[in-house]
Structure 1
Amino acid sequence: MSSRLVLVSPAIGPALREARFYDGSSSVDQGGAARARAAAKALPEAARVMVSPGARCRDTAEALGLRGAVAAELAPLDAGRWRGRALAEVGAAEGEALARWLRDPEYPAPGGESVRQVCARVGRWLESVPEGRTVAVVEPEVVRAAVVHALGLPTGAFWRLDVAPLTATELSGRAGRWNLRLGHAVGGG
């Protein structure tokens, strides 16, 4: 039997709309929650459900009718002192550091994680996914990190992977060999 993993990105909310570094507390907005409720029956039955610890993933899971374990290893990329700040604000105040962080997968956000670190953390979790189907409601950067790891992509590809709100990305495999079904709208086929 193989492992089947459905990674669901959270519904839209203020932090995503405003291009803010996520601080874990911003939720989904009413429209995002309504879209998630409408898509609730579209997800496949799962042996287990995992949820990223951030509020918008927990709220999206609830709106989808999913109850699952919160998994610390599925936390969003830690942006350190940039948490909660708008991308434009950080760019204006710390443009050089932001540019280096976006360009160099080894360079951590000040007081936070590098892209390589989040890819390694999510990769370790991915290799521990048991057989059967798992649905995980996770931040877009967790989806990116899982795809980078699953396909053996260079970590520099991380920022080139777009993950739209409320989409599902499916991975299946066994013995460390993963196949990818590219993201699709939850409930949209």
Structure 2
Amino acid sequence: MLFSRALKTLPELLEGCLKNDRKCQELLYKQFYGYAMGVCMRYVPNREEALEVVNDGFLKIFQKVQMYDAEKPFKIWLRRIMINTALDHYRQNVKFQHNTDLSVAENTIAAADSDNVYSTLAHEDLIELIQQLTPSYRTVFNLYVIDGYSHEEIAQRLGISEGTSKSNLARARENLRVMLSKKKSNEYARVPR
């Protein structure tokens, strides 16, 4: 009987969270932890910071669970909260922003259109490379390439100009391209001949 009591549906868990039921909160956390961690790992440089963002995000979920629209998928709502929490974390921890001229971005944007390079990487390899980017480059890259935000939306969310968003994206792509070529050349050098 105890085992069947622990298995709750998502609506039951959310209803329990509305009532501040700690067991329901724990079960919801455990059920969506992996997904939330995957979202947050793209925005921060290491697992410890990602865990901090995940925990802050779940705290927001528990505090605002009444705002969830049950007509829409829960994962989409959770993802948005995790992204927003990661952006809050970014704003709190960024030491400086890379503000560059739009003309610099235009010179590198043509070279950045070869996105097929990224499709040959394993997911884990790409995440590892993305985590090596500076915070501003990493954040813009994730928002634009992975989460599908426009430069206008990114500019509004981060308090930067659209030109800075475009420039940061171009530089992030260029940095990833350089890191990828170094990674490929290191792998080639290790192959026994």
| Structure exhibiting the larger radius of gyration computed from Cα positions | 2
**Higher relative contact order by CA 8 Å / sep ≥ 6: 1 or 2?**
1
TM-score normalized with structure 1 length? 0.24
Hey, which of these two has a bigger chunk of helix by percent?
Answer: 2
Hey, which of these two has a bigger chunk of strand by percent?
Answer: 1
TM-score normalized with structure 2 length? 0.24
